[in-house]
Chain A
Amino acid sequence: MTTMTGAQSLIASLERVGTDVVFGIPGGTILPAYDPLRDSSIRHILMRHEQGAGHAAEGYAHVTGRVGVCFATSGPGATNLVTPIADAFMDSVPLVAITGQVPRAAIGNDAFQEADITGITMPVTKHSYKVMDPDEIPTAIAEAFHIASTGRPGPVVVDIPKDVLTSPTAFDFPSTLNLPGYRPTTKPNRRQIRAAADLVREARRPVLYVGGGVFKARAAHELIALAETIGAPVVTTLMARGAFPDSHPLCLGMPGMHGNYAAVTAMQRADLLINLGARFDDRVTGRLDGFAPDAKVIHADIDPAEIGKNRHADVPIVGDAKSVIVELNKAVLGDNSERGRVDLEQWHSEVERWSRDYPFAYDQSEEGPIKPQYVVERFAEATKGDAIIATGVGQHQMWASQMMPLNRPYSWVTSGGLGTMGFAVPAALGAKVGRPDERVVAIDGDGCFQMTAQELATATLEKIPFTVAILNNSHLGMVRQWQELFYDERYSHVHLPQVPDYVMLAEAYGAVGLRAESVADVDGVIDKAMSVDDRPCVIDFRVDAGEMCFPMVPAGASNDEIIVGPNERPYDGVPQAPNEAYQRREEAAS
C-alpha cells in the first residue's frame, strides 16, 4: 500500500485496469487528475469538445472491444458528455466517463461549474459512482470497468469531487469485486437450447436475425458455423454490420426501414426468427403487429429485459451470444447427423429471387450529378473492403450500410440507437487510435460534419490520419426526404447552402481538403485521399441533392408496405404510395 493523492490513485487504478488511452479536456475540478497523467503510461488525447471525447472513446470501444475512457471537468464539461453517454447506452458501448465535481463541501450549493452529472445521466447510464472518499477510488474504477464491459455493456459515469482527488489516500487496488446485485447470466439454459434446436428442426423458412450482441460477445466467427449448420439466411442489423460477411452466400444484408428488400421480406415471410443479440427495434420491425406474422421466435440476449419486450419469444434464451451460438450449433449439428439436414432449398430459391430482383439500385449517368451511392461504391473499390467505416446519421449512413461490403467484424462504427449526428468524425478518430494499423474512412453528411468538425484539429495535431468523405447534398438530406415524401414537398429548414467551404475548412484545420464535383473527379480524389497518411483528409463530394434513400418502410407502416424505389414496386407485399408527391415523382420517372 502506497500513500498518494486521490488523483494519483485514479491514474494508478486506470493503469491497473489496462487503460492505454483517454480522450478528454481538462478544467477546474478535474485538474488534479491531469497532473499525474503527465507521468503515466496512459496516452491522453486532448479533444476540442467533450462530445468529441465521448464519441472518440466510443469509436475506440467499437473497434477494439475494450472500454473507452473519457475525462471531463464538472459542469459544462460533464454535460457535454451527456450525448455520447446516451449514445453508448443505446448501443451498449463499454464506456467509462470520469468527471470532476466541485469539492464535497460545495455540492448542492449551485457552486461554480456544479452540475449533478450522476443525476443527469441516471436514465442513460448502466451505473454511476459519486466517489466521496478517496479510499474508494480504486474500487469505483474496478467496478466501473467491470460493469461497463461485462453483461450487456454500457456507459458508467465516475464523478469525483476535486477535494477527493487532492486528498491523501492509501492506494489499495481490490482483488475482488463485491457486486451482489450484478450477476449477468452468460451460460444459456440447456433446455432452452434444446427447445431452440427443436424449432430449428421444424422450420422451413428460418432467418438468423443478428444484432450488435454478437459483436459484444465477440462471436462473429462462431456465427458463421451456426449459419452454415442451419443453412439459414442471415440479416445483420445496423449495429451488426460485418458480424456476418456480406460476401457470404447466406447473407442478406441489413433489415429494417432502409434495409435490403430481401432482408426485410425474408423476415416478413419467415416461419422462424432466430434473434441473436438484437432487440426488435422499431426501425427493424416497422409496425409491430404487421411484423413477421408467421414467425416463431427464438430470442437470445444477455439482457433478459429485451426478451419479450417488443415481440413474444417462443423460446427465450438468456445468455451471451457466443455461448448461445456455440451450444445451439452443437445441438443442431447433433440433430443433423442423426436425422439429416433439413431441406431449405425452396426457401433459398425464394430468398435468392428477392435478392436478385431487388438489389440496391441507383442510376449514375456520366454527365449528371454524382450519386452518393456511387461515392460509397468507389470507396468500397478503393479500399477493397479493407477499412474501418465510421458514419454520421442520415441518408449517407444508410447508403454506407447498403453499399459498403462489410466482411470483417469490428470494422463498422455507427450510431444506431440514438442516431447521433456528429458521431462520425470523433468516432473515426477514436477508431484510428484503437486500431492504428487500419485505414479508417468516415462517411459523413454535410449536416453531421458541421456538428463535430472541430475534432479535425485534434486529429491533425495528434497525427491521427483518417479520411472524411462528406456526401455533401447541401441539405439535411434525410429530413428533406421525409418532407418530400410525407409533407408534400413542403421543405422547411433543411437547406444547408454551401457554407462553409469544406476544402478551406479542412485546410484551416491543417487537414488535406479535396473536392469532387463531377463523376470524373471521384476516383482521383479518393486515390489522393488514400495516399495521405500523416493527417486527416476531408473530401467534399458534391452529390445529387435530390437522391432519396430506398428501399423505405415509412415510419409506422408495416414492413409489407416497403417502397422499393422511386419507380419500382415489389411484386408481393402491399404497395402503398405515401402521398401525392411521391406519385407525381413516380409518374415523372416512368
Chain B
Amino acid sequence: MISSHTLSILVENRPGVLARVSGLFARRGFNITSLAVGETEHPDVSRMTVVLSADGKPVEQCMKQLHKLIHVLRVEELPGDASVDREIALIKVGVGVGKRAEVLEIVEIFRAKVSDMDVDALIVEVTGSPDKVRALTDLLEPYGIIELARTGRIALGRGGRGLKAPTLHPVPIESAS
C-alpha cells in the first residue's frame, strides 16, 4: 500500500474556497486520493480532510502553499496512529433472494447495515476506516457490485487538543497602498 498523509484544513466558508484548495493540489503537483469537506462546530468555518499520496512532493511544501490561500485558516497533518479516520461507503450489491443470506452475514460481521433492499439488490452502508471499507468491498465483489459511493476520509486527531479556527478579530487598516 502507498503511504499517505492526512491533512486537516480549516477554511473560511466562502464561495470558491473548494476550487482554490483543490486547484492548488493539481497545479503544484500534489496527488490527492480523497477530499471531504463539511461545516465545523463554527458555521463560518469548514473542515476539509485531504488524503495526499506520499510519493509526490514533500507534504510540508503542500501545507505551506495551502497556508498562503487567504481563506485557509489552519492546516495540520494528522498522524496516522493518533487520529481517528473514518469514511462511509454505500455499496449496491446485485443479489437476489438466493444469495441474500450470505451477504447479510458478511454485513453482520463488518457491523455494517443494510439501508435499502429490493428483490434483486440491496444497499450496504458501512462506516469505518478506509481499510475496513476496502475489506468489505473486496468480500462483496463476487456478488456483483452495481454501484459504489464513498464519502472520502474524514479524520480528527485523538485526545483533548483540537485544531481551532482563529477567532475572527478585525485588524485596523494600515495605509493600504
Complex contact A176–B177 (CB within 8 A): no
Shortest Cβ gap from B22 to chain A (Å): 10
Complex contact B70–A66 (CB within 8 A): no
A280 beta carbon closer than 8 Å to chain B: no
> Which of A118, A149, A175 makes the CB contact (< 8 A) with B16?
A118
Instruction: Enumerate chain B residues within 8 angstroms of A182, measured Cβ to Cβ.
Output: 70
> Which of B67, B73, B166, B172 makes the CB contact (< 8 A) with A175?
B172
> Which of A175, A179, A308 makes the CB contact (< 8 A) with B60?
A308
> Which of B68, B73, B171 makes the CB contact (< 8 A) with A176?
B171
Instruction: Enumerate chain A residues within 8 angstroms of B176, measured Cβ to Cβ.
Output: 17-18, 67, 142, 145-146, 149
Complex contact B67–A305 (CB within 8 A): yes
Q: A119-B19, A308-B60 in contact; A303/B68 too (CB < 8 A)?
A: yes
A249 beta carbon closer than 8 Å to chain B: no
Question: Which residues of A (122-166) have their CB < 8 Å from a CB of B?
Answer: 122-123, 126-127, 130, 142, 145-147, 149
B64 beta carbon closer than 8 Å to chain A: yes
Question: Which residues of A (403-455) have their CB < 8 Å from a CB of B?
Answer: none
Question: Which residues of B (25-73) have their CB < 8 Å from a CB of A?
Answer: 27, 60-61, 64-65, 67-73
Shortest Cβ gap from A432 to chain B (Å): 19
Interface string of A309-332 (1 = CB under 8 A from B): 100000000000000000000000
Shortest Cβ gap from B82 to chain A (Å): 25
In the complex, what residue of chain A is closest to B45 when comparing beta carbons?
A180
- Count of chain A to chain B residue pairs whose CB atoms are closer than 8 Å in the complex: 75
Distance, CA A67 to CA B71, complexed state (A): 22
Question: Which residues of A (174-190) have their CB < 8 Å from a CB of B?
Answer: 174-182
Distance, CA A17 to CA B173, complexed state (A): 10
Distance, CA A176 to CA B171, complexed state (A): 5
Q: A130-B16, A178-B170 in contact; A305/B64 too (CB < 8 A)?
A: yes
Shortest Cβ gap from B48 to chain A (Å): 13
Complex contact B173–A127 (CB within 8 A): no
Question: Which residues of B (67-90) have their CB < 8 Å from a CB of A?
Answer: 67-73
A570 beta carbon closer than 8 Å to chain B: no
Instruction: Enumerate chain B residues within 8 angstroms of A18, measured Cβ to Cβ.
Output: 175-177
Q: A123-B27, A176-B171, A178-B170 in contact; A19/B177 too (CB < 8 A)?
A: yes
Complex contact B16–A180 (CB within 8 A): no
In the complex, what residue of chain B is closest to A64 when comparing beta carbons?
B177
B132 beta carbon closer than 8 Å to chain A: no
Complex contact B177–A66 (CB within 8 A): yes
B134 beta carbon closer than 8 Å to chain A: no
A27 beta carbon closer than 8 Å to chain B: no
Shortest Cβ gap from A300 to chain B (Å): 15
Shortest Cβ gap from A374 to chain B (Å): 41
B103 beta carbon closer than 8 Å to chain A: no
Instruction: Enumerate chain B residues within 8 angstroms of A174, measured Cβ to Cβ.
Output: 173
Instruction: Enumerate chain A residues within 8 angstroms of B69, measured Cβ to Cβ.
Output: 181
Q: A122-B19, A181-B12 in contact; A305/B61 too (CB < 8 A)?
A: yes
Distance, CA A178 to CA B69, complexed state (A): 15
Instruction: Enumerate chain A residues within 8 angstroms of B112, measured Cβ to Cβ.
Output: none
B23 beta carbon closer than 8 Å to chain A: yes
Q: A17-B176, A18-B177, A123-B27 in contact; A177/B171 too (CB < 8 A)?
A: yes
B20 beta carbon closer than 8 Å to chain A: yes
- Nearest first, the 8 closest Cβ-Cβ pairs linking A and B are A176-B170, A305-B64, A145-B176, A18-B177, A178-B170, A127-B70, A17-B176, A181-B73
**What would 14 more interface pairs be, CB under 8 Å, given A17-B176, A178-B169, A181-B69?**
A18-B175, A18-B177, A67-B177, A123-B23, A130-B15, A146-B176, A149-B176, A176-B172, A177-B171, A178-B170, A180-B73, A180-B169, A181-B11, A305-B61
